[in-house]
Structure 1
Amino acid sequence: MNRNQYAHLLNKVKTTIQKRDTNMRRVLSAESKLNATLRFLASGNSYAGMQYLFRIPKNSISKFVPEVLDAIYDALSDYLKVPNSEGDWTEIERGFNEKWNFPGCLGSIDGKHVIIRASMFSGSEYYNYKSSFSIILLAVADSN
């Protein structure tokens, strides 16, 4: 995710996830919540591990991550399609069973590093653990 994409996503979810300060406490910023949530999704760290990285208690992280994910889902609903009825889910499961002999499956997800030539002055922005420059393509699909 580049800076423009991050700014666009933050702009879409900020009003939903930002709370107000009170006399008793200051709230976490929308930026902190979004950063921690995106890091959680990217790394798969536990809430306990994340509390040291962001200096936010794990009980707070466990409360706001689902809220931020709901906000992202709502904000990006134009880009996402999820089955709406039980019949739709049953149809997808039947497709996986018939086409791929994979009963009980409701979807598949996979990621791929797409190798790119680094632009000038990009530094380590697109540098990955495979010692190359890439962007990540992540796909979610039904049986087709």
Structure 2
Amino acid sequence: MVIQGYLATGMSQRQVARYFCVGRSTTCNIIRDASKVIWEIFGPLFMAKPTTEDWKRIAKEFNSRWDFPKCLSAIDDKHIQIEKPRLSGSLYYKYKRTFSVVLLAVADVAYIH
């Protein structure tokens, strides 16, 4: 349940430790070990290691479609304005005098991923 609390809620490790009444080092170890197992099982299924030929094909597609040589993926971010979360202090406060979170996106040549 600790790993679910951490991954699903966005709580800090300290908050998860308090919530489940376990020590912070125990929480840290559970999260580290569970994340390692999740990566070992699902990593090869969903994040197959690209070959040299894959990288060359991707770069060629970016160059031919977008005239962007030697590019392998695109990344961008967007500030999404939100209502101030209760008891968050200045955590989400931005210089434009609003509260926001950052949405980060990574895409391949066809806007997928």
Q: 1:143 to 1:129 in 2, by over 3 A?
A: same
Q: 1:117 and 2:83 equivalent? A: yes
After TM superposition, give the deviation of residue 85 of structure 1 in Å: 1.2
- Normalising by structure 2, we get a TM-score of 0.56
After TM superposition, give the deviation of residue 130 of structure 1 in Å: 2.8
Alignment of 1:37-116 (within 5 A): 74=39, 77=43, 81=47, 83-116=49-82
- Normalising by structure 1, we get a TM-score of 0.46
Aligned mates of 1:83, 1:129 — CA distance in 2: 40
After TM superposition, give the deviation of residue 119 of structure 1 in Å: 2.7
Please state whether the residue corresponding to 1:93 is helix, strand or coil: helix
Partner of 2:31: 12
After TM superposition, give the deviation of residue 83 of structure 1 in Å: 4.5
Aligned mates of 1:108, 1:81 — CA distance in 2: 17
The CA RMSD over aligned residues, in Å, is: 3.4
Q: Would the aligned equivalents of 1:83 and 1:89 in 2 still touch at CA under 8 Å?
A: no
Aligned mates of 1:121, 1:109 — CA distance in 2: 32
In terms of fraction of residues, the more strand-rich structure is 2
Please state whether the residue corresponding to 1:128 is helix, strand or coil: coil
Q: 1:130 and 2:96 equivalent? A: yes
Consecutive unaligned residues of structure 2, counting only runs of 5 or more, are 1-8, 17-26
After TM superposition, give the deviation of residue 109 of structure 1 in Å: 1.4
Percent identical pairs in the alignment equals 37
| Bigger radius of gyration | 2
Q: Would the aligned equivalents of 1:126 and 1:135 in 2 still touch at CA under 8 Å?
A: yes
